[in-house]
Each structure stands twice: as structure tokens, then as C-alpha cells.
Chain A
Amino acid sequence: MRALVRYLIRLRKTDPFYAGYIGMNNIPIVRKLCVAILFGLFAQIAVAEPIPLTSQERAWLDAHPVIQIAPDPDFAPIEYLDENGEYKGIAADYAALIEEKLGIQFTIAKLPNWDTVLEKAQAREVDMFGAATASPQREEYMLFTEPHIRLPGVIITRDDTSGTLTLDDIAGRRVAAVSGYIWFDLIGNDRPNFQMDSTPSLTQGLRDLSFGNLDAIISDAATATRVIRTEGLTNLRIAGDTGYETALAFGVRKDWPELGNLLNKAIATITDEERASILQRWVSLDQDLLSQETLFIIAAGAAVVLLITLGTLGWNRILSQRVAARTRQLDAAQQELLAANVDLEKRVRERTKRLQRALKQLQASQTQLVQSEKMATMGQLVAGVAHEINTPLGYVYNNVQLLTDFVGKVDEQTNACRLLTDLMASTDADDEQISSQFENVQRLTAELTDENGLGETMELVEDSNYGLRQISDLVLSLKDFSRVDRANEDGVDLHQSIEHTLKISHHVTKNTAEIVKSFGEIPKVRCNPSQINQVLLNVLTNACHAIQNGKGHGTILITTEADSDYVYVGIQDDGVGMQKDVGERIFEPFFTTKTSGSGTGLGLSISYNILKQHNAKLRLHSRPGKGTLFKFGLPIKTVDRNADDSDQVDRDNIIDLVAES
């Protein structure tokens, strides 16, 4: 069937009626094709060949080796750039034909859209349009050849309109055309009040129309049909004629009239056969668009019997093509859905990844904070302990120096004694020598025992021993205390933990509070001793600060007791106490009542977490002006908890907060 049509078109050229008809405007291509079927049988074949050029023309072409043609990249099937960036379409074929006839080669300027083409043409950065309509505006900077393509402008609407519409019918509605297209110039020149919006591309405009964002699109029928089909926009129809047509021609920059003349010369030699061949390549029968009128013409031109047969076959074909088209649309819709789904999944994955990253960062900074709190505590501790050590170190040094002097004197006295006994044993020594040495020994002995010297010396030795023991105790406590990250241990004696902590914090407590201990009988428990020490130190330090902020000097009562399930440790101070609002917040990270720089605000928050991890009971009782009791109970029988289910412990279960205002 297709081969037949092609043959008929090739033959139609010689018939004058046919030639006149085909040259007429406003006649749909399909109708022209039908006419071709009727008249084509009598046509003859003609062949195109290069045309002779004058020497001036040849010289001009030689002087201009590069002629840039700038197509509209999205104006299929008139002209467009395909997915490989190749210049395609009706205009492209005309351009190729002209290249052949003139023996030249155009350079294709690949620009993103028509607006850019116009811009570049005005700037003389490109030299030619492939297919454009002349308008007074464009003729300011471009010359136009004889038109080679004619396209009627149609009104496209959704299929909820009925009848044939004119521009008057759609005036005042939301009408749009592709930005920069000739319709603005043509319609605007005659109807300055006709409002038209710009749409960046025909595809976009028709989509907006289909979705109800626009009421009508002005376009040529050919390109619009193609887009409607490829996009599957089934709810659109060609509702009427604008009364304008675009006669597309080559545009040539205005300062190159020689090229315009050359093109016109070449266009004049294009045969109808060549025209038809081009047209046939790009416009195929589209049965979707066959109007009743067209079918009538076909029927009238063909035999009645054939018509019935063909009509039946055609109808079947229409149906099957419609089914195929609908299937294609459904496929496309499904593809789109799948693509959307994939996109959604991708976005969810990305979001999840981002959240995980954020979580990891949070965890890292939490660890860092806990670590820095620990370091700050350790720093204060070490500074305090250093002071505690410096004092015994001071007198031990001093005493050793004194003892060294003392030993020197003892040595001197011993030597004097030995000399005396030697003299006494010697037969040569005279009495005077002996008595002089005797006096010497007496004097040295008196010096040694002077002012209770020996007793004092013994005291210095004892003091030094005491001091050294104190230093080693402190160092041991510090070592014990700071054995961080030790796992849970069985058989931890909380009394020992309390004693260690008291020793370590002695420099804080000694000038602030008297420590009163009331220890009960308690079993050993399973816990992480260094963590419990940290809690004890923290609570003790807070107790001291509470006393310092209150009366300055007070008492801290430390009690221990046990019932069948828990071992309890209570630390009671008689400091400033807390208001209820403070009491409720003290376990929050970064909450602090201390001046900036004197506390991280993390101490109690960390203590709280440590106790939570130990499944501990916690009780806080505070009365402003009277003091605070901090009491916690460690379970005697424990199960090691996973860090994961730590959140399952309800805060209310472990805190019994009583703060009175």
C-alpha cells in the first residue's frame, strides 16, 4: 500500500490540475495524498540535477565556506535534532537537496531551543533558519526565501469542547503557543488584544493543556499531531482553524542577500517530484486523524464495492490500531509508574542513607561528649590529687634532708667514739689526748640528743612513712578509680568504692564538709566499679558545691543498707537544696546551675545513664535551704543488659523525684 502511494506521488507531477491542487494552501496533507491517488496514474518521472552558477555566485560561495544553519531542535517533523544530534525533518531534507544543487555544505548550529536560535540570528552568530515564517519583526534582521513548506495554524483543545472553534471562540481563555513562534507575530499583528501565553515547548504546552492548566494551544497540525501521539495525550483534539498559516521558508541573514538569491535560484529548480518525495518521507497516513470528510472523498474516488470492503478492513484496522495505541499508552503509563516507583525508592534510600549518616555523627559526638566529660572530671581529679600528693611530698623531702644531716652527725659521733676507744686501748696515748677526745664525744653526743633531737628524728621518720603511705594510697586510688571501660565485675564491695572515691575527692571535701559514714551490712554486687565510682564522685562533688553555695561548711552523710533485692547507697548533704523545677531537670544533658566553665552539665546526665544501665533504682529528695538526698539502689541479682533495650526502662520507674518548693 505504502509503495503504491509513493509511486503515485512520484507520478503526479505532470498533471496541471494536480500540481495546482497540491500547491494550494490550507488543504490537509492527507487530502492531497488522496487526490494523488486519483490523479497519480497519469504522471511521469523527472530527475533533479545540480544547477549552473555564475562566476560571481561561485566566488561568493568560495568566500563564505562556512554557512551556519540553525534549526529549531524540537519542531518535528518540520525540523529537529534527533537523539544523535543529527539534523532531521522536512526542512533538513530541503537543505540537503539545496546542498546538492549548489554543491556546498551547511554547518549545523545545534542550539537548545527556538528562542536561542532567534537570539543568535539577531546577533549574526548563525546565518540561516532551516524553516521559519517571515514576519515584520524577523525581517528586521533576516531575509526570507520563497516558502518551501506551508502549514495551517490550528486550534487544539481538550476533547470536552465541541464543534469547530475559531480564534473568537477561545479569546479570553488560557491560550498559549510555543515561545517565539510565528503565531504571536501573525495573530498579534491583526488582533493586538488577543492574549496568548508562551510555553517553552510544544510538548510542555500540550501536556499543560491535557492536564487542564491551559484551555487551548495554537500550533501547526503536523507537529501537534506528532506530539499528541508520542505523548499519548488522548484527551486532545484539533478543534478548528486559526485562519493563519505558516509559510515556512529559509531565513538568511540580512547582510547576505547573495545567499538569499542563491537559495531562491535553487528552490526554483526543486521539482514537485522532489517535494513529494520529501513530504512522503515525513508525513504518513494517520488514520486517527482521518476526518469523516476525508473518508467521504476516498469513498467518492474509489469503487463502491471496494469502498465497502476497504471500509470494513479499514474499520478493523482503525480498531486494532486504536487498541494498539491504547495499549501503547497503557504501557507508557505503566513505564512512567515504574519509573516513578524506582525514583521514589531511590529517594527513600538516599534519605535513609542521610539519616543513618546523621545518626552516626550524633552517636560519635555523644561518645565524644561523654569522653570529654570524663576527661574534664579526670583533669580536675588529677589536679586535686596532685595537690594532695604535693603536701606529703613536701615534708618527706624535707625530712629526708634533715635525716641526711642527722646521719652525718651520727657518723661524726661514731667516728669520734671509735677514735676515743682506740686511744684508750693504745698504750701510747697520753691522758690529755684521751680527755680531749672524750670532751669531743660528749659534745657531739649532746648535739645529737639536744632538744629531744633523737625523739624528734624518730617522729620525722614516722611522718615520712605516713606521707609515703598517703602518696601510694592516692596513686592506687587514682589507678583504681580510673580503670575506665572495665566490664561488669562480680563481688564489688561498694564500701570500698565509697572509700576510694572519698580519698580521691578529699581535696574537694576536706575544707567543705565533714563526712559522716553510716555503713550497714551489705552484700557484694555485680556492677561496673569504675562507672559506679564516677557516679559517687559526681554526687559527692555536687554535694560539696551545694554546701559551698549554702552555709559554706556542712556535713555529708553517707549511708549504705540492703534489702533482699537491692543494695542502697545514700548521700545526704545539708547544702542549698533544689527547687522543684531544677530537680526535674538535673538529669538532662547540659543542664547546669553552675557558672559557665565550672561544669559541663553532663555529670549527672551520665550518672543517670550509668545507673539506668545497671537497672538501678534512683531516688532524689531535695528541699530548698535544707539539703539534698541522692540515693540509688543496685540490684543484688543482675542480668547483663543489652545496650539496645536500655530505652525500655521507663524513666519513672527509676526516678523517684521529690523536690519541694
Chain B
Amino acid sequence: MMPESTIMFVDDDMRVLRSLKALFRNNAYKVITVDDGHDALEITKQQRVHVVVSDQRMPKMRGVDLLAKMKEVSPNTMRLLLTGYADVPAVVDSINKGEVFRYVTKPWEVDDITEVVGEAASISHKLFEADRSPTKTLNIEAESAPNDSQHIVVFEPNQEILAFIESMFGKQHTVHYANSVDRALEYFIDFPIALVITYIDKTQSEQIDFLKQIKQNYPLATTIAVMSQTDAQVAINLINQGQVYRYLPTPISPGRMNLSVKSALNYHNQMARNPVLLSRHNVKPIAEESPTSSSVSSGFISRIGILRSKLMERLRA
């Protein structure tokens, strides 16, 4: 049986806190409730918190700002956002700043929240466990920028960003271009791909499904989604089912792209060295929730299994 987990709920509405506390009280959790982000950070500094579930709109500190700080204070604490207001800036920030594990909307389903908190708690235990080993550090930000050459796949039907990426990273890294799912998959089989960058110009597209499939089957690769139109619901799906590493709205700022790619490659290296980190990005199964995955060919589905064996190979090496 899993050891006791500490769950922290942060919300400015005490009734939400009371309700959630009552829900988790009996399930082998230690529940902490606070109504302010500053208190939440203080408590996290003093004791081990496995999962933090925060509201977004609070008077003194926004949820995403709290979670971004929480990432520094306690990287092994799994971060979830629980909000009734899916506004685009909040969702984008929760990806890029908060790097949240899940974005849960109010009103929540009792079964869903107990399941996802349970999953987050068990991952957090693994992370804390791995962190105890003195040879490994999980502090990503402390890593220096990688100097080695990596393989990057740019997957987009029209060459919107390829030239841009090539000019920025083509010298140091190998940039592969794919205009189809099959082509992209071939690169994954032939090369140890570290990063996929996609340009998505509509909210229903095979790029989105591909990102989800990659995270499900080859979580070692990090993903960056560039979107011309920002749709909060699509972004939420990219968090919960795709664990997208960065989400960049157009027009792309070169500075942001540069930082995002460097950070993504760095994080890829981290995961390669510490495979336990992969569990951080366990995604919600997509099969039942994504009827749009029909845009991905059945050939792809059968071949994607190869990715798992590739993953094992590369992790052993």
C-alpha cells in the first residue's frame, strides 16, 4: 500500500476547501487547505507536499503564479489547476509557467478528481524517492545548456515555421521536416528524436493527435505547439492528454522560441538521465475521449507500438 500522501488545496472559497477536504479525508491522505498562495508556499517549504491543487482566480496571487513558484520550491510536488474559468491566458500560463500536470475545470467530477489526485500522489512519491539518491539531481534549471547535437522534428503540413527553426537551430542540431504523420513517425524510428515542434493552424488537426500519441508512447520526446488560434479547450487537452511542454501563440517571438527550444532540449536530457521523470508526464488515456484520432491512420497506430520498444532501447543505452 502507498504511504500517506499530503495533498494541499488552495482556494479563496472556504466551502470549496471544506468540500474537497471531506472528499479526501478518508482516503489515506493528509489534507491541507489554505486560502492564499503565500501561505501555500510557506507550508511547502516546511513540509513535503505531494500534490497541490490550486484555484486560478484568487485575490492576492493567481493560481498559475503560485504553481510556477511551487515548481522552484518543490519540483517533486505535482501541480494541478482547478478553475471554473477557462480563460486563454490562464491556460497558456499554466503550460509555460506552471508546467501543470492537469488542468481540472469546475464543477469537477468526484471520480475524476480522486483518480487524478491519486495518480499525481503516486508519481510524486516516485519522484521524491528518486531524489533521495545523491547522484541524481532533478533540478532542471540548474543544468547548463546542452552542447551536444540533438534531433528535432518539425511537423507541419505547410512550411510555416521550418525555415525559422532551421535558421535558429540548424547549425547545432539536426532539423527534420515532416508534412505527414507517417513521415514524422519514420524519423522517430530512425533517430533518437528529442523534440517535436508543430505548427497548428486549426483546432482539429492531426498535429494535435500526433502530439498526444507521442506523449503516450514516447514520453522521452518533448513537444512544442505553435498555434495560430488559441482555443482554451484545445490547450487544456494538450495539457491533460498531451503534456505539451510549451505552447506558443503566433506571431512567434524569436527570443521566446529560442528559450523554449533550449529549455525543452535540456529537459529531454534530464528525462533521458532520470527516466523516473517520465512519469511526471503520464497522460490521460486518449482513446475514449478523442474521436478525432481518426485523423491518425490505422497504420500509424500499429507502428506506434515500435516507439515503445525504441523508448526502452534508448533508455537502456
Q: Is the CB of B22 within 8 A of A390?
A: no
Can you name the residue of chain B whose Cβ is closest to the Cβ of A451?
A: B25
Interface locus among B105-113, B192-200, B250-258, B278-286: B105-113
Q: Please give, as numbers and ranges, the residues of chain A lying within 8 Å of B84 by CB-CB distance.
A: 386-391, 393-394
Judge whether A402 and B59 touch: CB under 8 Å.
Answer: no
- Known A456-B22, A460-B18; judge A393-B106 contact (CB<8 A): yes
Q: Determine whether the beta carbon of A402 is less than 8 Å from that of B107.
A: no
* Residue interface mask A551-567, B partner, CB < 8 A = 1: 00100000000000000
Min C-beta distance of B157 to chain A, whole Å? 28
Interface residue B186 (Cβ < 8 Å from any Cβ of A): no
B19 at interface by CB-CB < 8 Å: yes
- Map CB proximity to A onto B7-34 as digits: 1 under 8 Å, 0 otherwise: 0000001011011101101000000000
Q: How far is the CA of A391 from the CA of B20 in the complex (A)?
A: 12
Q: Is A351 in the interface zone, CB < 8 Å from B?
A: no
Q: Please determine whether B15 and A467 come into contact, CB atoms closer than 8 angstroms.
A: yes
Which of B19, B59, B85 is in CB contact (< 8 Å) with A510? B59
Asked if B130 is an interface residue, CB under 8 A from chain A, the answer is no
Asked whether any CB of chain A lies closer than 8 Å to the CB of B58, the reply is yes
A466 is an interface residue with CB less than 8 A from chain B: yes
Residues on the B chain within 8 Å of A388, using CB: 84
Complex CA gap A172/B20 in Å reads 108
In the complex, A459 Cα to B19 Cα: how many Å?
9
Contact across chains for A398 and B57 when beta carbons are under 8 A apart: no
Evaluate whether A390 and B105 lie within 8 angstroms (CB atoms) in the complex, with A397-B110, A398-B110 already known. Answer: yes
Q: Give the contacting residue for B108; candidates A387, A398, A402, A507; CB below 8 A.
A: A398
Residue-wise, chain A 359-398 has the 8 Å CB interface mask toward B (1 for contact) of: 0000000000000000000000001001111111111111
A426 to chain B, nearest CB (A): 35
A549 CB-CB contact with B under 8 Å: no
Q: Is the CB of A399 within 8 A of B106?
A: no
**Given A394-B84, A394-B106, A398-B110, are A511 and B57 neighbors across the interface (CB < 8 Å)?**
yes
Cβ of A15 within 8 Å of any chain B Cβ, yes or no, is no
A466 to B110, CA, bound (A): 20
Interfacial chain A residues near B19, Cβ < 8 Å: 394-395, 398-399, 402, 460, 463
Q: How far is the CA of A393 from the CA of B109 in the complex (A)?
A: 11
Q: How far is the CB of A37 from chain B (nearest CB, A)?
A: 100
Tell me whether A390 and B107 are in contact (CB under 8 A): yes
A399 to B105, CA, bound (A): 17
Contact A393 B18 (CB under 8 A): no
Cα A395 to Cα B21 with chains together (Å):
11
**Contact assessment for A391 and B22 in the assembled complex, using a CB-CB cutoff below 8 Å:** no
- Interface residues in B75-112 by Cβ distance below 8 A to A read 82-85, 105-110
A204 at the interface (CB under 8 A from B): no
Q: What is the interface size of chain B, counting residues whose CB is below 8 A from a CB of the partner? A: 22
Q: In this assembly, does A401 line the interface, its C-beta being within 8 Å of a C-beta of chain B?
A: yes
B107 and A463 form a contact (CB under 8 A):
no
* Given A387-B85, A460-B19, A463-B18: A394 and B107 interface contact (C-beta under 8 Å): yes
Return the CB mask of B51-65 against A: 1 if under 8 Å, else 0: 000000111000000
On whether the beta carbons of A398 and B23 are closer than 8 Å, the reply is yes
> In the complex, are the beta carbons of B85 and A398 less than 8 A apart?
no
Query: In the bound complex, what is the Cα–Cα distance between A447 and B224 (angstroms)?
Result: 50
Q: Knowing A395-B15, A402-B23, A451-B25 are in contact, say whether A511-B58 is a contact too (CB < 8 A).
A: yes
Residues of the B chain whose Cβ atoms lie less than 8 Å from the Cβ of A383: 85
Are B20 and A398 within 8 A (Cβ)?
A: yes
Docked CA distance A456–B25 (Å): 11
| A392, A451, A459, A553 interface centre (most CB from chain B within 10 Å) | A392
CB distance from B66 to the nearest CB of A (A): 14
Q: Is the CB of B110 within 8 A of A390?
A: no
- Over the window 431-474 of chain A, the binary record of Cβ atoms lying under 8 Å from chain B Cβ atoms (1 yes, 0 no) is 00000000000000000000100001001100100110000000
Task: Flag if A387 contacts B57 (CB, 8 Å).
Answer: yes
Q: Is the CB of A392 within 8 A of B15?
A: yes
Q: How far is the CA of A398 from the CA of B82 in the complex (A)?
A: 14
Question: In angstroms, how far is the closest chain B Cβ from the Cβ of A474?
Answer: 12
Residues of B within 8 A of A399 (CB): 19, 22
Distance of A229 from chain B, by nearest CB (Å): 79
In this complex, the member of A391, A459, A460 whose beta carbon has the largest number of chain B beta carbons within 10 angstroms is: A391
Q: Report the separation of the CA atoms of residues A511 and B105 in the bound assembly, to the nearest whole angstrom.
A: 20
Central interface residue in B13, B20, B107, by most chain A CB within 10 Å: B107
**In the complex, what residues of B have CB within 8 A of residue A396's CB?**
107
Provide the residues of chain A in CB contact with B20, threshold 8 Å.
395, 398
Is the Cβ of B57 less than 8 Å from the Cβ of A395?
A: no
Bound complex: CA of A61 vs CA of B84, how far in Å?
101
Chain B residues with CB below 8 A from A391, complex form: 13, 16, 84, 106
Residue in B16, B59, B83 whose CB lies within 8 Å of A395: B16
Q: Which residues of the other chain, A, contact B59 by a CB distance below 8 angstroms?
A: 510-511, 553
| List of B residues within 8 angstroms of A402 by Cβ | 19, 22-23
Residues of B within 8 A of A511 (CB): 57-59
Chain A residues positioned under 8 Å from B58 (CB to CB): 511
Q: Which chain A residue shows the least CB distance to B109? A: A397
Minimum Cβ distance to chain B for residue A316 (Å) = 96
CB neighbours (8 Å) of A460 from chain B are 18-19, 22
Chain B residue contacts of A467, Cβ below 8 A: 15
- The answer to whether A390 and B85 touch across the interface, beta carbons within 8 angstroms, is yes
Q: Which residues of B contact A459 (CB under 8 A)?
A: 18
Minimum C-beta distance from A381 to chain B (A): 13
Q: CB distance A463 to B15 under 8 Å?
A: yes
Beyond A387-B57, A387-B85, A511-B57, whether A394 also contacts B22 by CB under 8 A is: no
A553: which B residues are within 8 A, CB to CB?
59
Bound state CA distance, A460 and B14, in angstroms? 11
B110: min CB distance to chain A, Å: 4
User: In the assembly, what is the distance between CA of A394 and CA of B13, in Å?
Assistant: 11
Q: Which residues of A contact B110 (CB under 8 A)?
A: 397-398, 401
The distance in angstroms between the C-alpha atoms of A397 and B108, with both chains bound, is 8
Measured between alpha carbons, how far is A387 from B84 in the docked complex, in Å?
5
Instruction: Specify the chain B residue showing the minimal Cβ separation from A389.
Output: B84
- Nearest residue, chain B, Cβ from A391: B84
Given A387-B85, A399-B22, A510-B59, also A393-B107 (CB < 8 A): yes
| CB closest chain-B residue, reference A397 | B107
Q: Which of B22, B82, B84 has the most CB of A within 10 A?
A: B22
Q: CB distance A390 to B15 under 8 Å?
A: no
Chain B nearest CB from A324 CB (Å) reads: 84
When chains A and B are docked, how far (Å) is the Cα of A399 from the Cα of B110? Answer: 9
Which residue on chain B has the smallest CB distance to residue A401? B110
Q: Tell me the residues in window 94-146 of chain B with beta carbons closer than 8 Å to chain A beta carbons.
A: 105-110
Q: List 7 A–B pairs whose Cβ atoms lie within 8 Å, in order of A's numbering.
A: A387-B85, A393-B84, A394-B108, A396-B107, A398-B22, A402-B23, A466-B15
Besides A395-B13, A466-B15, 8 other A-B contacts (C-beta < 8 A): A383-B85, A386-B84, A392-B15, A393-B84, A393-B106, A395-B19, A397-B110, A507-B85
- B contact set with A: CB distance below 8 Å: 13, 15-16, 18-20, 22-23, 25, 57-59, 82-85, 105-110
The 6 nearest A-B residue pairs measured at CB: A390-B84, A395-B19, A387-B85, A394-B106, A394-B107, A393-B107
